[in-house]
Structure 1
Amino acid sequence: MNHLLNLRLTLLLLLVCLTGFASAQPLAQRLQRLLGEPVLRQSEVGMAVYDLDADTLVFAHQAEKLYRPASVQKLVTTLTALTQLGTDCEVRTDVFADGAVDADGTLQGDLYVRGGFDSEFGDADMERLADCVARAGIRSIGGRLVGDVSMKDSLYYGEGWSWDDARFDFQPCLTPLVYRRGCVRVTVRPTARGEEPVVTVEPASDCYTVDNRAVSHVPGAGRLVVTRDWMYQSNALLIRGNATRRVEREVPLFAPEQYFLSVLADRLRARGIETGVTDLGRVPEGARRLGGTARPLTDLVRRALKKSDNLAAEAVFYRLAHSLHPERPATAADGAEVIGTAIRALGRNPEDYNVADGSGVSLYNYLSPDLLLAFLRSAYRDPQVFAALWDALPVAGVDGTLAHRMKASPAHRRVRAKTGTLTGVSSLAGYARTEDGRMLAFVIINQNVLRGARARAFQDKVARELVVKD
């Protein structure tokens, strides 16, 4: 009996020693060991880790290979913008009057609103625009209400975007005049069995129609679907299937600049200001600015990174593009050129990579972990840029797209990083503060992985090893 007890104690002591030995291994060895994880049998990974305090590369695995970055592309976009445009850059939406206001308060000409691609423009901002017009003494618009969307080209979607994602709110149309993210909120409430549910849409507007063919509490009607007729680029809101409980959906509209003008016209009429037809055009030389709204670019950066918001990232991307040739509509190629200049400044050849959009939605983006690491290292050396980035990145186990990850891990609150997800792609890139106080920059891109949860579990294991003491 004593022999058996001694054997158990010996095995327990051996296990403790082995566990201690494993945790005491250098970080590079621990990361190398993780490359034997089952998830990598049918997929691959590119990784790079850098000790920012020691200015030393700690670990690299296939770090120079090209991968689809998914939403860690947003790091490249936002860091280039914070560096090139400055942390104090603002995004404006302004109203202009082209003509005099007569004694009756009639504007003898057109009223213009010029968009600067403020993806956060909402109800309070729309009210401010309408107030600017009212304060100018305008009681009637004798001409047109004109939207100026000349900041960017007329393409609503990016190159390499999946066509069937147009139905989802994470892929709204891209336009410099965007209100409530180009979406309406559709609420469906069931009624008596077999009856139509009650459907309400906010805000009210004449730029969409509602086609409600759903029924309440009839299982045979199928799953409830709330969408729009996106196949034909129509703003007919379609409600189908079985309504069993209250459901809310954000539905992106086609031609959101027309939606913007429709709501602005409603807000003006609510102030007793008569409006005429709406149209698109450029603000003419000599038009008088009545006022507008201004939003810090850092607000867009924060949403792009914390929430992995595609619209915010594309707004930042097109602000970059516009800075290259402000005299003409910005294009995605312009944005890629500005980012290419940033890549060259890091000592790399931009022709070795491909930048197709600002959000990472495009399947044409190709970057390497090594390049992303260079962006993170460069940001760390610029106090203003790093402060804005640090504030905007999701915190492990706390907020953003990392709110539900690493809660019980040593990485909890010690990792701030951008996530990325596409079919077959999962990525994580950012910073880790180790238990002994060192700051690491890291990049992980899992490719050809069909179950994203397995890739995220692998990344969380890597994050744990990054923060624990050697």
Structure 2
Amino acid sequence: MSLIESLRDGKSGVIRNALLLGFVFCLAWGNPLGAQETLIQGLEKITHSPRFKHAHWGALFVDRESGQVVFEHNTDKLFIPASTTKLYSVATALKEFGAEHRFRTPVVRRGDVSPEGVLEGDLILVASGDLSFGGRTSPEGTLAFADGDHTYANGNPDAELTAPDPLAGIQELAEQIAKSGIRRVRGDVLIDDRLFEKAESSGSGPSQVTPVLINDNLIDFQFKPTQPGLPAELVVRPATSAFQVESKVLTVESDQSPEIEIRDLGSGRFSITGQVPAGHKPVLRVHEVADAALLARTVLIEALLRKGIQVDAPTLAEAHKDRLPRVDEVKTLPKVAELTSLPFSESIKLILKVSHNLHASTLPLLVAANHGETTLAAGLRRQHDFLKEAGVEVETISFAGGAGGTRSDYVTPRATVQLLRYMATRPDFPIYQAALPRLGVDGTLPRNIPPDSAVRDKVQAKTGTLYTGNTMNGTTLMTSKALAGYMTTAKGKNLIFALFVNNAHLRDGVTAKTFGDDLGKFCEAVYLKE
């Protein structure tokens, strides 16, 4: 007997432990039988697809105010969360720093300044972990972002550059140093990046997590087509002499595909070949810098030179970190400039809207540094304590990073909903919620439902996507597709939910977006029911 048949027989007024493709549903609506049939039919239409045959599912929907369960399946099973991990790391950092926190990056001097403005010593930029370093600040005083972030340009054809100059923060520091009266630096320009130990990002995009970030520690190569047979126009960001680029990328006929190959020749030299079709939108590719501190040193010296400040040390020399004074001594040195970030709420929005892996991976280390600690493990222990205080069943889950890409990252639908429900009780909840992508509107959720869907802009939720190569079959295995957040239903009820589907094959035209669309349909079915 099917689930719908059992409903018609009156055997399930409030549906509990009903079998549907291996699902156990718990529906507690108490609505007329016909409305229940409509919901179940909608869910069956989604889940009866052959692409779910091997998938592992978990789901939990609850009323935000009462906590009453609306729908559940595999609530206490572990799932790979992918980027819904960022819900946890952002919540921890928001509690740690507060929405209005601003990161301050000082430049100090070691040595005296003569009446003529000659510094007989070094300038030292003390990295504070400022995630955007002035390089995304818009004229409106917000952080600029595109739904397709440049950090994913090598795998996302929709990735775009934002308008602000990625060196704007560096330029501001140079201007302040000039206003301090310094006209010449006889010593060196040093970068103190000892705020925390460097680590690996736990997601795609830039791999190095460092206390200093200039343009996300990436070089942007943007190719604009011209006329077939002619070289494509190349824009390199950030603009610096640290990089020497030879481009042999040509414009080809409009019916061909973009192809770009970047060869790193070492010492800042790059050779790029390929093609871009005529009439095509600009093609963006990125390459991670080998040494973030070295890039910061070079662009700071160049900015000083543009402000008329002579620097005796060579611009392209190595960053001599062995010349740095002790950490406690640095704190006593005179400050000649300071860059102040936008409020932390802007960084939260950037991380959650575009699923920024590098910045999310940095959050646990910033939390650790706020307590004088320097390791990722220390930051994650702080996260453990916060989640436990928030009422999350923390012993049921596992994390090894802040972005959601490590082999150790596992959560349950119940723990995720517990976190989201706790966050809804906090005074800063509006900031947390507003930073989430809006279904059918922006961030990582603009195209997972039709434009005329009833649930459009009724869901604010974090997405997650993780897949790996199925080498034996020459296909791809989607290890995780996830969606978790908040919903306002058609009847005005506020729900909190977590949806996970793990281990599904991507083949025969089925992509990760296919499953993302299914999660959108799932939300639409619940939205219309409630």
Shorter-chain TM range is: 0.7 to 0.9
109-118 vs 68-77, which deviates more? 109-118
The 5 A counterparts of 1:329-340 are: 330-340=374-384
How many Å separate the matches in 1 of 2:41 and 2:108? 63
Alpha-carbon spacing, 1:285–1:416, altered in 2? closer, same or farther (3 Å): closer
Checking the alignment, whether the CA contact within 8 Å between 1:222 and 1:241 is kept in structure 2 is no
The 5 A counterparts of 1:273-288 are: 273-275=309-311, 276-277=313-314, 278-280=319-321, 281=324, 284-288=330-334
Alpha-carbon spacing, 1:54–1:141, altered in 2? closer, same or farther (3 Å): same
Aligned counterpart in structure 1 of residue 522 of structure 2, from 452, 462, 466: 462
Alpha-carbon spacing, 1:234–1:36, altered in 2? closer, same or farther (3 Å): farther
Q: How many Å apart are 1:298 and its aligned residue?
A: 1.2
How many Å separate the matches in 2 of 1:142 and 1:469? 72
How many Å separate the matches in 1 of 2:495 and 2:219? 42
In the alignment, what sits opposite 1:293? 339
How many Å separate the matches in 2 of 1:428 and 1:383? 24
What residue identity is the alignment partner of 2:270? L
Aligned counterpart in structure 2 of residue 322 of structure 1, from 361, 369, 387: 369
In the alignment, what sits opposite 1:45? 57
In the alignment, what sits opposite 1:146? 190
In the alignment, what sits opposite 2:352? 305
Q: How many Å apart are 1:108 and its aligned residue?
A: 1.6
Q: How many Å apart are 1:353 and its aligned residue?
A: 2.4
In the alignment, what sits opposite 2:22? none
Q: How many Å apart are 1:319 and its aligned residue?
A: 1.5
Deviations 1:139-162 (A, max 9, x none): 11121111111112133x236x5x
Aligned counterpart in structure 2 of residue 114 of structure 1, from 107, 118, 126: 126
Alpha-carbon spacing, 1:213–1:93, altered in 2? closer, same or farther (3 Å): same
The 5 A counterparts of 1:10-49 are: 22-24=34-36, 35-49=47-61
How many Å separate the matches in 2 of 1:248 and 1:382? 40
Secondary structure (helix, strand or coil) at the match of 1:435 reads: coil
Checking the alignment, whether the CA contact within 8 Å between 1:116 and 1:176 is kept in structure 2 is yes
Aligned counterpart in structure 2 of residue 207 of structure 1, from 219, 242, 248: 242
How many Å separate the matches in 1 of 2:38 and 2:385? 37
1:173 aligns with 2:185: no
Q: How many residues align?
A: 435
Q: How many Å apart are 1:105 and its aligned residue?
A: 0.7
Checking the alignment, whether the CA contact within 8 Å between 2:391 and 2:422 is kept in structure 1 is no
Checking the alignment, whether the CA contact within 8 Å between 1:432 and 1:466 is kept in structure 2 is no
Alpha-carbon spacing, 1:41–1:208, altered in 2? closer, same or farther (3 Å): same
**Which protein is richer in helix relative to its size?**
1
Checking the alignment, whether the CA contact within 8 Å between 2:392 and 2:419 is kept in structure 1 is no
1:240 aligns with 2:273: yes
Q: How many Å apart are 1:264 and its aligned residue?
A: 1.1
How many Å separate the matches in 1 of 2:227 and 2:50? 51
Secondary structure (helix, strand or coil) at the match of 2:345 reads: helix
1:227 aligns with 2:262: yes
Checking the alignment, whether the CA contact within 8 Å between 1:228 and 1:235 is kept in structure 2 is no
Deviations 1:402-444 (A, max 9, x none): 1223332221111000111110111100000011111100001
Alpha-carbon spacing, 1:457–1:405, altered in 2? closer, same or farther (3 Å): closer
1:403 aligns with 2:438: no
In the alignment, what sits opposite 1:414? 458
Q: How many Å apart are 1:226 and its aligned residue?
A: 4.4
Alpha-carbon spacing, 1:297–1:27, altered in 2? closer, same or farther (3 Å): farther
In the alignment, what sits opposite 1:393? 436
Checking the alignment, whether the CA contact within 8 Å between 1:304 and 1:312 is kept in structure 2 is yes
177-186 vs 344-353, which deviates more? 344-353
What residue identity is the alignment partner of 1:209? Q
Aligned counterpart in structure 2 of residue 133 of structure 1, from 167, 171, 177: 177
Checking the alignment, whether the CA contact within 8 Å between 1:430 and 1:441 is kept in structure 2 is yes
The TM-score, its normalising length taken from structure 2, stands at 0.75
How many Å separate the matches in 2 of 1:216 and 1:335? 48
Checking the alignment, whether the CA contact within 8 Å between 2:353 and 2:443 is kept in structure 1 is yes
What residue identity is the alignment partner of 1:333? A
What residue identity is the alignment partner of 2:347? L
What residue identity is the alignment partner of 2:88? V
Q: How many Å apart are 1:254 and its aligned residue?
A: 2.1
Checking the alignment, whether the CA contact within 8 Å between 1:51 and 1:57 is kept in structure 2 is yes
What residue identity is the alignment partner of 1:459? L
What residue identity is the alignment partner of 2:201? G
What residue identity is the alignment partner of 1:151? L
The TM-score, its normalising length taken from structure 1, stands at 0.84
69-78 vs 83-92, which deviates more? 83-92
Alpha-carbon spacing, 1:249–1:79, altered in 2? closer, same or farther (3 Å): same
Secondary structure (helix, strand or coil) at the match of 1:90 reads: coil
Checking the alignment, whether the CA contact within 8 Å between 1:93 and 1:118 is kept in structure 2 is yes
Checking the alignment, whether the CA contact within 8 Å between 1:28 and 1:58 is kept in structure 2 is no
What residue identity is the alignment partner of 2:366? R
Aligned counterpart in structure 2 of residue 94 of structure 1, from 106, 114, 120: 106
Checking the alignment, whether the CA contact within 8 Å between 1:100 and 1:109 is kept in structure 2 is yes
Secondary structure (helix, strand or coil) at the match of 1:177 reads: coil
What residue identity is the alignment partner of 1:274? Q
1:431 aligns with 2:486: yes
**Tell me, which stretches of 5 or more residues in structure 2 are unaligned?**
1-31, 136-166, 468-477
How many Å separate the matches in 1 of 2:404 and 2:268? 26
Secondary structure (helix, strand or coil) at the match of 1:400 reads: coil
338-347 vs 441-450, which deviates more? 338-347
Checking the alignment, whether the CA contact within 8 Å between 2:213 and 2:292 is kept in structure 1 is yes
The 5 A counterparts of 1:263-278 are: 263-275=299-311, 276-277=313-314, 278=319
**Tell me, which stretches of 5 or more residues in structure 1 are unaligned?**
1-19
Alpha-carbon spacing, 1:412–1:191, altered in 2? closer, same or farther (3 Å): closer
Alpha-carbon spacing, 1:428–1:189, altered in 2? closer, same or farther (3 Å): closer
Instruction: Give the aligned CA root-mean-square deviation in angstroms.
Output: 2.8
Checking the alignment, whether the CA contact within 8 Å between 1:190 and 1:198 is kept in structure 2 is yes
Secondary structure (helix, strand or coil) at the match of 1:383 reads: coil
Secondary structure (helix, strand or coil) at the match of 1:401 reads: coil
In the alignment, what sits opposite 1:11? none
Checking the alignment, whether the CA contact within 8 Å between 2:448 and 2:513 is kept in structure 1 is no
What residue identity is the alignment partner of 1:294? T
1:56 aligns with 2:68: yes
How many Å separate the matches in 1 of 2:443 and 2:286? 19
341-350 vs 256-265, which deviates more? 341-350
